[in-house]
Amino acid sequence: MTTIPNEDEYIHQDYPRDDPMPWKENWYFNFIDKENNAWGFNHISLERHNKRGRFSAIHVIDGEIFKYVEYLPLGEDFTELNDGKLHLEFIEPHKKFRLRFNGPSHSVDLNFLARFEVFDYAPKRKKDPQGDKKSLAVHHYEQALTVNGTLTKDGATRNISCFGHRDHSWGYRNEMNIAGWNWIAAQFADQTINIMQVRIDGIDPISRGFISAASGNTTITQVKVLSSDRNDQDQPVSAVYEVTDEHGKTFTMTSKLFSNIVLPPGEQGENVTIYENFSTFTLPESGDTGTGIDEYLENSG
């Protein structure tokens, strides 16, 4: 049972007014349906310091990338996550969500249902007037999902049925202050494994994560990037991670991309490149395989 209040699912109105520091509230939903040749992610960011919302839907269908990004001015009375094309509804907090996108070339209507319980990265709920205004969000939680719905392209509709993932964060956040990260959300038949290692200049790498299963959540306490390979375009394509959980159990996980999307400098920061790798994951000790996102942020500044 999650301890996150239902109201935290929705748009926060207690954001700092007239503060030039980067304060954002983000929602992210992905889906990966290899059997139906469709996968992608949807992201909404309310950039309160810029008084604008960034709505994006980036989908790969039959090998073709469809990219939608729209900016919307934000007033203080902004209450619905809808820019006219991308629309996110909270049907039941922590349990059921509906996402619709109507683009020029395709549309999706997807229902996201809780697969396992929410994991809260930042359980503290007290307001901190100082906060960490340098890099990462103050509040952040994630959840594994199942996805069912439809995708329509070129007048033909196909069903979508797969695993997915979401996260929600809000607070002071500035990717330009981060040297790099590896952020992974891997879906297996009976569990989801989420790990991250964040590198900020001047401090030791931050690594955390969790494993979700029907029995509940297990916290990840350490993540090591043992190796990472790149292709001829100098893009990351695979990696090996060593993971340690709260009980001291250590295991390895490998990733290998089957499709990728590159967010070039300028979209997330002047020198920031993000590689969204849709990947196959393997747990060598058990032989289990799954699919998910193997994300790399790299800051050349």
| Cα–Cα dist 297/198, whole Å | 9
Same domain, residue pair 41 and 141: yes
Enter the tokens of residue 290: 């799954």
Q: Are residues 138 and 189 in the same domain?
A: no
The answer on 112 and 41 residing in a single domain is: yes
Q: What is the pLDDT of residue 125?
A: 45
- Rounded CA separation 25/251 (Å): 33
Residues forming beta bridges with residue 254, ordered by sequence position: 240, 282
Same domain, 147 and 233: no
Of 173, 208, 226, the domain-final residue: 173
Q: Where on the phi/psi map is residue 190: left (φ > 0), alpha (ψ -120 to 50), or beta?
A: alpha
Within a domain: 205: yes
Report the candidate in 189, 161, 162, 210 with the shortest Cα–Cα distance to residue 290. 189
Q: Which amino acid is at 102?
A: N
Instruction: Out of 137, 158, 173, pick the residue that ends a domain.
Output: 173
- Enclosing domain of residue 163: 19-173
* 79 assigned to some structural domain: yes
Q: Alpha-carbon distance 292 to 278, whole Å?
A: 6
In this prediction, residue 128 carries a pLDDT of 45
Residues 157 and 236 in one domain: no
| Residue 269, pLDDT score | 66
Residues 70 and 212 grouped into a single domain: no
For residue 129, the model assigns a pLDDT of 41
Predicted pLDDT of residue 137: 59
Residue with tokens 């239902």: 6
pLDDT of residue 131: 43
The string of pLDDT tens digits covering residues 154-209 is: 999 999 999 999 999 999 887 777 899 999 999 999 999 999 999 988 888 999 99
CA dist 277 to 45, 94, 189, 285, 296, Å? 20, 26, 20, 23, 8
Q: What pLDDT shows up at residue 1?
A: 59
In this prediction, residue 240 carries a pLDDT of 98
Whether 9 is covered by a domain: the verdict is no
Q: Are residues 165 and 207 in the same domain?
A: no
User: Residue 8: inside a domain, yes or no?
Assistant: no
162 domain-assigned: yes
**3-class SS of residue 255:** strand
The residue to which tokens 């889906």 are assigned: 31
> Are 240 and 254 in contact, with CB atoms under 8 Å apart?
yes
- Domain boundary residue, one of 123, 144, 173: 173
Within a domain: 3:
no
Question: Is residue 112 domain-shared with residue 140, that is, in the same domain?
Answer: yes
- Residue 162 CB-density burial (10 A; 0-12 exposed, 13-18 middle, 19+ buried): buried
Bridge partner residues of 275 (DSSP): 262, 296
CATH number of the domain at 131, please: 2.40.370.10
Residues of the chain with pLDDT under 50: 124-133
150 shares its domain with 184: no
* Position 23 in a domain: yes
Q: Three-state SS string across 171-187, please?
A: EECCHHHCCEEEEEEEE
Ramachandran category for residue 68: left, alpha or beta (phi over 0 → left; psi -120 to 50 → alpha): beta
